[in-house]
Structures are given as C-alpha cells and as structure tokens.
Chain A
C-alpha cells in the first residue's frame, strides 16, 4: 500500500530523516518505535503533507501514486489519515459540520454522490459509539474544551467517519490513562480490515498490547534500523533504547 524509499528530509538546515525505508501492505499493522528526536513525528507530518519540511531525496509510493506530489487535501482524499499527537482546538468550527464538508469533498474527488443529512447523522451516531464519544461532544467546536482522552478519541472518531486506506497514529497513546487507551485501541481494532493498513507510532510498548502489530520497526537517527515482530517491542520495553544507540551509532 505504501512504499517509502530512501527518504531524506530536513528542517531549518537540519536533517531529520536520513534515508528512511518502509513498506506497509494492505491488512497490516506496523508499529514504529524509537527514542525522542529520532524522527517519528516528522515522518508522520511529512506523509500527511506538512510543508515546513524540505524533502531532499527519496520517494513515497501510495497505491501507485507519488504521494510527495499530492497536496495535503489530495492525500487525505486518496485515503491517508493522520491521527495527530496534539490535536488542536479550532473554536467556532463545528466538529460535525467540518466532517460533513470533508466527507463530501472526498466523495466529490472520487466522483461519488454527496452524503445526505440523514445518512450523515446515522454515520455520526454509529461511529461515535465505536470510541464511546458522546454525540453531544461531536457537535461542539473541534476539540474545544475536550480533555486529552476526548481529543484522542475524537481523532479515532474522525478516522472511523472518513474510513481511510492508511491510518497513521502519531503517539495516540500519549497522555492517556488505561481506560482511555483501551477505548482508543478498541476503536482502532474495530476499524481494521484486510483492505486497510495502520502505522502506529508509539514511544511505549503498552499500546501494542491492545493494538497488536504485525511488524515492529525501530526508528533511530532518521532511519529504520531494526525490524521485528511484537517481541521486539517487549525487548525494547525491557532494555530501553541504549543498546540500539550503541549498535547503530557510528
């Protein structure tokens, strides 16, 4: 589904991604772990299309399309979804109003019909239940006054509404207590299918007890340096990242 080859990216003259390679196929869940500053969130931002980074080398193929060539909105319309690490508040913009506009612009892009108000509200009720999000919260301004857990659940609610091919969860577990974590993970698992894929970026192994990955990658110093199964995550949990740093610092 997505193939990242030799991706180099920098910001303000500083190189963050230094030749990153990653391939994710449909139906798979990949976890990306790594120490702070390794480039995990940078990767997520770049894939979503944030233009503050300079891509100096490499390519990203998303289902046959050159992802780096697409605008932010076209990437979303092609089926890429980023669950933000720090979802921002947008006062005055209603959560469900903008989602309906998004859904319709995505449908427009694909040549599909616009969603009716009735069908939309049915979808809202159905999907907000998946993440146990009170529908009343859904109709407020985007993330305004939401707790940390509610913001993260709102991200997964949006993911459920937009039904992407590839979801990138950027440290979705940060700031969540066990119950919130369980709800979010549950939501992600319910949305999993053989036709979509998920990249879970996380610092801690804990989330991976709930969202079980097929592959675990370690991102260190701008590159994927190690790939394993969920056992690798447990090893990192036990030993920390020092042994990785020793092994791969030259």
Chain B
C-alpha cells in the first residue's frame, strides 16, 4: 500500500508519512475506493447545493500541531476532557482521572467496538473513505452497563495551521441501561483553510440514554465534513444537538438507524451564519421497527451572503407501524443575498403511522420590529431580540445549562 501513500492519485491528501489507525482490512477497502472515486459534483443529488471545488482543488497535509491551553474552549468546567489537535491526541490537554464506569481513551490506543467500520458506508462516499484510510485518532468511549454519568464528557477538537487536515474517527458505545452526555466541539486556532473530516460511530444499546452536543465553531476559512452513524437498539433514547456557528463550508451527515422498538430519537439543530459561510445539514432517520418516536427541529439564521441547505429524510419501513415522526425546519433570512435550500423528505411504507414535516423560510417580522422600536428599542436591539427569540426554540432543547450559556454567549 505504500505506493498508494506516495501516489498523486490519492485525492487532496498529503499523508506526510502518517498511517491510519484503523485495522488493515478497513484501510485496504477504503484505499481501493480512493483509487477510482471522484468528488461528487452538483449533479449528484446529495451534493446538489454544496460545491466542493474549494476542497477538491487543494492539497491538505496531515500534520501535528500545538496548542498551549484549552481554557477558552472548555464548555463545561469540571468535565472529563479529551483533546485532539489536528486529529492527534494531546495527553497534556486531556484529563488524567477518568470516572468509574466509563472508558475514555484515544482510538490510537485501541478501539473497543468490534463493530467499528461496519455501518459506515465507504462505497461512493469519498470523505468516509478518506477518513477510513487516514484517520489518525479520535475518541474511544464506552459507557459501561448501568453507568449513570453525573457530569458530561467533553471532546475538544482544535485545528491549527494552514491547509492541514484532521481525520478524526470516534467510536462511542452506550452499553445497556447506561446514561451519559457527551459534548463534541470543534474550534480553530491560527488556522487557515484547514479541513476537519470526522466520522463518529455511535452505538446506543438496549435501554441506554445518550445525549450528544455537537458545537461547530471553526475558522471562517475552514472546511468541515462530519458523519455521525448511529445504531439505536430497543428502549433507548438518543438526542443530538448540532450547533453550527462558524465555518466556510460545513457538511453534516447525520444517519440514525432505529433498529429497536420503543426508541425515542431527538435531532435538534441550529445554524447561525454570516459572511460567505455555508452549512449543509443532511439528516436521515430510518425507522426500521415499530413503536418508535422521532422529533427533528432545525432552525437557521442566515445573514449577509451566507447559504444553507437542509435535507431531512425520514424512512418508515414496511413493518414499522405506530411510528410518530415529526420534522420541522425554519429559516430566517436577514439579507437579500442569503439563501437556503430546504428539502424535507418522507418515505413511508407502513400504514399506521403519524408523520409530519414542515419547512418555512422568511424574513424578520416587520410588524414585530416596528412594535419593539415603537417602545424605544433601537433597530439593532429589536433585531437581536427577535432573532434570539427565533433560535431560542432550539437552544431551549439543550438541557445542559452550561452548554446553553456557552452558545448564547457566542451568538450574541
């Protein structure tokens, strides 16, 4: 395989001598794909509104970096923290004491899941293939059976340097009857056009409860492609809150397979964009079996020339009766040049279900603006009040107060 590592055929990556940490079988499969795969164009439905030219015509280097402190990146003060810089584990910036009942280790030390890679599609998926071939590290987390974690876990990713790429692979297992909250955040420090390519495999076992907060606040010039592949077993609850606050191009692929009955799945997303930022949220909830509920709420505020994409797909398979699946996407455009492409998709094969989807896009309510200004509020204050009221619906769903305040502080 070493010839491939040196070959110019490997798209956009300069591996700089770093080999990937996944097993050989997975890497070989991924390398084969990379030999022939092309970048998707806008003629590919899944990438219709997200142009990849800025990524596909560049070379990104896998390269270690150093950060002196994570104090400004900590969302929760007293949390078990795992820090990665440019996709490499930083033991100095990570917690030494791990609470009982959990395993929190860098993936490079070994991966606990025997299922790793099995649910992640690499065929026709160039970013997953790159990640599988080259991922240098990530978080390996196991919440052991019956463990109820008191405080959240914090995974901090920092990208730094120019044209660097972080290939991160995370594996999170919530074993039976466990309960935990994990914050995965992405920041930049002195980074220019860095690229973060993440795959997070999540297994929520029987009767487990897992809440994941994903905060994206990378540099204005940075690129980010992230895939969450979730496997939910019966009687479990999975909640993911995705907050995209900054980044030149951000693409989130959230795939949830609800494989067991009596599951609850919550997908909440907020995106607040300005300048020329672009975010593309593709979500998939696949209801394979009966008696489950899913709730999806994504709200966006787009200023200046920013653009957004929302593509929410809900599958309800033939035997998945008594499913309640609700999906809603609402957007506010604050300028004439901002744009959003919103496509809800429901594909329903069962006949005893309750499903709904809705999408709205509009501007700030002029009447509301007038009302507030007529009470003495400046135009700026009135706008801010109405905009934060709009996004508050999503922020309210984040139960953790520290995470909520962190987000509110950033968006103000």
- Enumerate chain A interface residues (CB-CB to B < 8 A): 48-50, 71-73, 75-77, 81-82, 84, 87-88, 90-93, 98-99, 101-103, 105-106, 109, 141-142, 158, 162
Contact = CB atoms under 8 A, between A and B. Distances in A.
B372 A77 contact: no
A73 B386 contact: no
A76 B374 contact: yes
Given A92-B389, A93-B389, A101-B381, A77 B376 contact: yes
Contacts of A101: 377, 381, 385
A88 B371 contact: yes
A203 B370 CA distance: 24
The 9 closest A-B pairs by CB, nearest first: A92-B389, A76-B376, A72-B373, A102-B375, A102-B376, A106-B376, A93-B389, A73-B373, A90-B368
Contacts of B393: 92
B390 interface: yes
Interface in B371-412: 371-379, 381-382, 385-386, 388-390, 392-393
A55 B171 CA distance: 65
B367 interface: yes
A84 B371 CA distance: 8
Interface of B: 365, 367-368, 370-379, 381-382, 385-386, 388-390, 392-393
B371 A162 contact: no
A90 B375 contact: no
A91 B374 CA distance: 18
A42 to B, nearest CB: 14
14 contacts: A72-B373, A73-B378, A81-B374, A88-B365, A88-B367, A90-B368, A90-B386, A93-B385, A93-B389, A98-B375, A98-B377, A101-B377, A103-B376, A162-B376
Given A73-B379, A88-B367, A88-B368, A98 B374 contact: no
Contacts, number: 74
B374 A90 contact: no
A101 B381 CA distance: 9
Contacts of B367: 88
Contacts of A99: 375
A3 B386 CA distance: 34
Nearest to B393: A92
Contact of B371 (A90, A91, A106, A109): A90
A105 B390 contact: no
Given A98-B385, A101-B381, A90 B376 contact: no
Q: Which of B375, B378, B389 has the most CB of A within 10 A?
A: B375
B38 to A, nearest CB: 45
A93 B385 CA distance: 7
Contact of B389 (A50, A71, A90, A162): A90
A98 B393 CA distance: 18
B375 A76 contact: yes
Contact of A105 (B371, B378, B389): B378
Contact of B374 (A49, A105, A109, A141): A49
Contacts of B375: 76, 98-99, 102, 158, 162
Contacts of B382: 73
A82 B372 CA distance: 11
Contacts of B379: 71-73
A105 B385 contact: no
A87 B375 CA distance: 12
Given A49-B373, A101-B381, 7 more contacts: A71-B373, A72-B373, A73-B378, A76-B376, A90-B386, A92-B389, A92-B392
A82 B375 CA distance: 8
A162 B392 CA distance: 27
Nearest to B371: A88
A81 B373 CA distance: 11
Contacts of A162: 375-376
A187 B267 CA distance: 47
Contacts of B368: 88, 90, 93
A72 to B, nearest CB: 4
A43 B322 CA distance: 56
A224 to B, nearest CB: 23
Contacts of B376: 73, 76-77, 102-103, 105-106, 109, 162
Given A90-B368, A101-B381, A72 B374 contact: yes
Contacts of A71: 373, 379
Contacts of A90: 365, 368, 371-372, 386, 389
Given A88-B368, A90-B368, A48 B374 contact: yes
